[in-house]
Amino acid sequence: MQIYLKKCIVRGIIDIMKKSITTNSEAETISEGEKFGRTLNPGAVVALYGGLGAGKTAFTRGLAMGLDIKMPVSSPTFTIVNEYPGKIPLFHFDMYRLDSENELFDIGWEDYLERDGVCAVEWSEKVSGAFPPDTIKVHLESRGDNVRNITMEVLV
């Protein structure tokens, strides 16, 4: 596993680093998601980018573990959003089946943003205009077989 720390981006008063890692198994991606999840505060919005099978759901499964959520996380492809209660609740979105950003109003997107949980969003490409400015971006990319490259923003 490689770790590179890229140059610091200053966005408002918060410094953001980009961390790039390579995982070689689903378990490793889950473990990285868990470490990442532990760094999140209530109100955090995490935009996940990457194609089918890139590991977005696996990463979110770990992220939930990092929030101490015990319920098993499954893909919300057909329901658009699944809610997991916890000290910091998780709202797990999958925008794959969303036809337009307008449908976000129907599912109560803006209410979720106000609810002091963590919003983790799969297929963020489909709703790029919907994210608040302090959204944390995570890009996942398959490099074949069991290899995945994950580039995530981390607050420093």
Ligand X SMILES: Nc1ncnc2c1ncn2[C@@H]1O[C@H](COP(=O)(O)OP(=O)(O)O)[C@@H](O)[C@H]1O
Binding positions for Mg ion, rule: CB under 5 A: 56-57, 75, 122
Distance CA 14, CA 41 (A): 14
Distance CA 76, CA 78 (A): 6
Residue type, 65: M
Using CB under 6 A as the binding rule, the residues of this chain from 72 to 111 that contact ligand X are none
Using CB under 6 A as the binding rule, the residues of this chain from 20 to 79 that contact ligand X are 23-26, 28-29, 50, 52-58
Q: How many residues bind ligand X (CB under 6 A)?
A: 17
Q: Residue 87 belongs to what H/E stretch?
A: none
Residue 89 tokens, joined = 């609740």
Nearest approach in angstroms of CB 64 to ligand X is 13
146 binds ligand X (CB under 6 A): yes
Question: DSSP character for 66?
Answer: H
- CB nearer to ligand X: pick between 39 and 142: 142
Judged by phi (left if over 0) then psi (alpha if -120 to 50, else beta), residue 94 lies in beta
148 binds ligand X (CB under 6 A): yes
124 binds ligand X (CB under 6 A): no
Give the number of other Cβ atoms within 10 Å of residue 37's Cβ: 25
Nearest approach in angstroms of CB 56 to ligand X is 3
Residues in touch with ligand X (CB under 6 A): 23-26, 28-29, 50, 52-58, 122, 146, 148
